[in-house]
């Protein structure tokens, strides 16, 4: 039973990882070389106080 559960968990985790790849091809979004909101330029400078 443990082996079956472990095998199922591994297959499920592998499927989730493969499915969760970055595949957004909507022209609304900009393709950037980083993840998140900040790249090399802090676009909040001047109007936000962290």
**Residue 36, H or E segment:** none
CA distances to 1, 11, 15, 17, 29 from 4, rounded to whole Å, are 5, 11, 17, 20, 41
Q: How many CA atoms lie within 13 A of 12 on its CB side?
A: 6
pTM over 0.85: no
Tens-digit pLDDT profile for residues 1-42: 888 778 867 777 776 666 666 667 778 888 778 777 777 888
Higher-confidence residue of 35 and 47: namely 47
């Amino acid at each position: 039973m443990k082996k079956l559960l472990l095998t199922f968990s591994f297959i499920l985790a592998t499927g989730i990882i493969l499915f969760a790849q970055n595949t957004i091809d909507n022209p609304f979004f900009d393709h950037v070389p980083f993840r998140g909101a900040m790249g090399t330029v802090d676009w909040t400078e001047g109007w936000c106080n962290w």
